[in-house]
């Protein structure tokens, strides 16, 4: 049955967009099943009428009987399955190599499609066709194709979660700024004064809590700064909320009725301008070089550096529909601000958010590859496309270390940009037939 994306999505998609969606889905599937596509553990082993499934099992050791009828215990991580084919019947993965695992006989930059050497009890010989290093090896003998497949998973994960973090921050702040403006949220005067005065003490409170809790859980040792960031945020908000309710309590006790409009839009807009004024590349490189190398920190760095543009875009979209008739009718019917935001405003800007997510995902993947290329991103034991490109700097004659990861990066970003441009054109009122 022919897959018709036009009917499934309900959109008029040209062949380039359909091809981009197909390629992107294929890349996503490769990333999701990378641990089964590229692994040195066989899918199936039959040894003396017993069957094993090492690639699907969590067992750490296997007991085999050697050719000399000697029972041997092999560690799953250390056994070289391809050198012991005489022990039984094997079914290997399409790429029978682990990422980052050295193949010493085939080290020193073996080119693509070259013959692969195997070593067993009978000596050195050429491996079967299924054990070829199809895209070559690097200096240590690590398989490039296996690293490329596993790098797909890491790059997509970092790109997805980093842009998701940026979207959460940007959408929340952008909607609050655009909807409330400077004349919607009224608070007691004393509450506002206490909140302003508690900003600096709240920072000190957050720093104190994060220090003690981070020291107790050793977050600074392990590099899990997301816990410290959460404690910072919650402690700071706790200080502001406490000041707000304390001010309301004083107003209730002394029967003060003076209220003031909180300039929400001005405050958030100034924060956005501060972040937007800092060059993104400089901010990313500075934060990544200071923090410990970990996947979590890379996600935080990219997410923190990308939210300002999203918040500005969402604010502008909310301002377009804030004073339209259906919003005014919802207010007249007595709907709360929260219901208006989630039932009327958010569905109307969902398309813009999706397009922003698609373009942001491609940008996040490029930033992660750049950080890994500069050796300030993920740890060295985590294989990414950027690290494969960095290996190409050591030997420019090993062209395959640059060509294949660069092509994978190019195809992924191109597909995302094609899909983003198509959805952007569908959201354009002119292209939809509206004036």
Task: Report how far residue 294's alpha carbon sits from residue 384's, in angstroms, rounded to the nearest whole number.
Answer: 12
Q: What is the CATH number of the domain that holds 350?
A: 1.10.3720.10
Distance between CA atoms of residues 366 and 155, nearest Å: 9
How wide is the angle at C-alpha 352 spanned by C-alphas 348 and 354, nearest 5°? 110
Tokens of 233: 């945020």
From 84, 112, 141, the end of a domain falls on 141
Instruction: Verify that 423 and 341 share a domain, yes or no.
Output: yes
Provide the domain limits for residue 64: 40-92
Across 336-352, b (16+ Cβ under 10 Å) vs e yields eeeebbeebbeeebeeb
Q: Are residues 45 and 176 in the same domain?
A: no
Give the SS3 label for residue 346: helix
Distance CA 351, CA 427 (A): 7
For residues 384 and 396, the answer to whether their CB atoms sit within 8 Å is no
Tell me: do 406 and 282 sit in the same domain. yes
Does the residue 161 lie in any domain?
Answer: yes
What is the rounded distance in angstroms from the CA atom of residue 208 to the CA atom of residue 134?
Answer: 54
- Based on the fold, state whether residues 154 and 126 are members of the same structural domain: no
Residue 266 covered by a domain:
yes
Q: Do 408 and 280 fall into the same domain? A: yes
Q: Residue 31: inside a domain, yes or no?
A: no
Strand order in the sheet with 44-47: 50-52, 44-47, 89-91
In a domain, 88, yes or no: yes
Query: Along the 435 residues of the chain, how does pLDDT read in single tens digits?
Result: 344 545 444 556 788 888 899 999 999 999 999 988 998 888 887 767 778 777 777 666 666 555 445 454 555 555 666 666 556 677 888 888 888 888 888 888 888 988 888 776 566 667 778 888 889 888 888 899 999 999 999 999 999 999 998 998 899 999 989 888 887 778 888 888 888 887 777 777 766 766 666 566 555 443 445 556 666 677 777 777 888 888 888 888 877 778 887 888 888 898 888 888 888 888 888 888 787 788 888 888 898 888 998 999 999 999 988 888 888 888 888 888 888 888 888 888 888 898 999 999 999 999 999 888 888 888 888 888 998 898 888 888 889 999 999 999 999 999 999 998 888 877 765 444 333
Are 181 and 307 found together in one domain?
yes
Please indicate, yes or no, if residue 13 is contained in any of the structural domains. no
In this structure, the answer to whether residues 54 and 123 fall within a common structural domain is no
How far from chain centre, in Å, is Cα 236?
A: 26
Extract the tokens encoding 20: 């981009």
DSSP string, 43-60: SEEEETTEEE-GGG---S
- Asked whether residue 16 is domain-assigned, the answer is no
265/192 Cα distance (integer angstroms):
15
Same domain, 315 and 272: yes
Q: How many domains does the chain divide into? A: 3
Asked if the structure places residue 207 within a domain, the reply is no
**Measuring CA to CA, how many Å separate 123 from each of 66, 105, 116, 133?**
17, 12, 14, 20
DSSP line for 276-328? HHS-HHHHHHHHHHHS---HHHHHHHHHHHHHHHHHHHHHHHHHHHTTSHHHH
Does 164 lie in the same domain as 70?
no
Query: Does 165 lie in the same domain as 49?
Result: no
Does one domain contain both 125 and 52? no
Q: Is residue 45 part of a domain?
A: yes
Task: Report whether 296 contacts 226 (CB < 8 A).
Answer: yes
Predicted TM-score (pTM) of the model is 0.81
My answer on whether 48 and 84 are in the same domain is: yes
Judge whether 87 and 47 are in contact, CB under 8 Å. Answer: yes
The answer to whether the CB of 311 falls within 8 A of the CB of 272 is yes
């Amino acid at each position: 049955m022919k897959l018709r994306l036009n009917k499934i999505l309900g959109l008029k998609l040209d062949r380039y967009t359909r091809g981009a969606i197909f390629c992107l889905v294929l890349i996503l599937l490769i990333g999701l099943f990378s641990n089964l596509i590229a692994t040195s553990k066989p899918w199936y082993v039959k040894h003396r009428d017993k069957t094993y499934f090492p690639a699907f099992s969590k067992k750490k050791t296997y007991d085999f009987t050697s050719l000399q009828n000697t029972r041997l215990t092999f560690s799953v991580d250390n056994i070289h399955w391809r050198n012991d084919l005489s022990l039984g019947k094997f079914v290997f993965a399409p790429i029978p190599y682990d990422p980052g695992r050295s193949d010493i006989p085939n080290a020193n930059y073996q080119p693509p499609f070259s013959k692969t050497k195997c070593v067993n009890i009978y000596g050195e010989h050429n491996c079967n066709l299924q054990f070829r290093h199809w895209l070559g090896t690097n200096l240590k003998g690590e398989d490039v194709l296996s690293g490329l497949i596993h790098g797909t998973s890491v790059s997509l994960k970092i790109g997805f979660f980093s842009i998701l973090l940026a979207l959460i921050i940007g959408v929340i702040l952008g909607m609050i700024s655009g909807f409330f403006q400077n004349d919607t949220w009224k608070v007691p005067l004393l509450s506002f004064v206490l909140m302003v005065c508690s900003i600096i003490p709240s920072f000190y409170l957050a720093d104190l809590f994060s220090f003690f809790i981070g020291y107790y859980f050793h977050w600074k040792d392990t590099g899990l700064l997301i816990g410290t960031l959460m404690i910072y945020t919650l402690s700071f908000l706790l200080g502001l909320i406490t000041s707000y309710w304390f001010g309301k309590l004083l107003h209730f006790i002394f029967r003060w009725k003076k209220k003031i409009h909180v300039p929400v839009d001005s405050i958030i807009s100034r924060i956005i301008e501060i972040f937007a004024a800092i060059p993104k590349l400089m901010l990313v490189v500075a934060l990544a070089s200071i923090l410990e190398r970990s996947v979590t920190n890379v996600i935080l760095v990219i997410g923190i550096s990308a939210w300002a543009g999203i918040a500005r875009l969402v604010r502008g979209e909310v301002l377009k529909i804030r004073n339209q008739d259906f919003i005014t009718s919802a207010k007249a019917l007595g709907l709360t601000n929260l219901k208006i935001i989630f039932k009327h405003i958010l569905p109307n800007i969902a398309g813009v958010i999706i397009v922003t997510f698609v373009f942001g995902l491609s940008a996040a993947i490029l930033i992660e590859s750049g950080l890994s290329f500069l050796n300030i991103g993920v740890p060295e034991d985590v294989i990414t496309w950027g690290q494969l490109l960095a290996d190409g700097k050591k030997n420019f004659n090993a062209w395959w270390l640059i060509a294949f990861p660069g092509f994978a990066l190019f195809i992924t970003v191109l597909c995302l940009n094609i899909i983003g441009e198509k959805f952007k054109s569908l959201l354009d009122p002119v292209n939809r037939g509206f004036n």
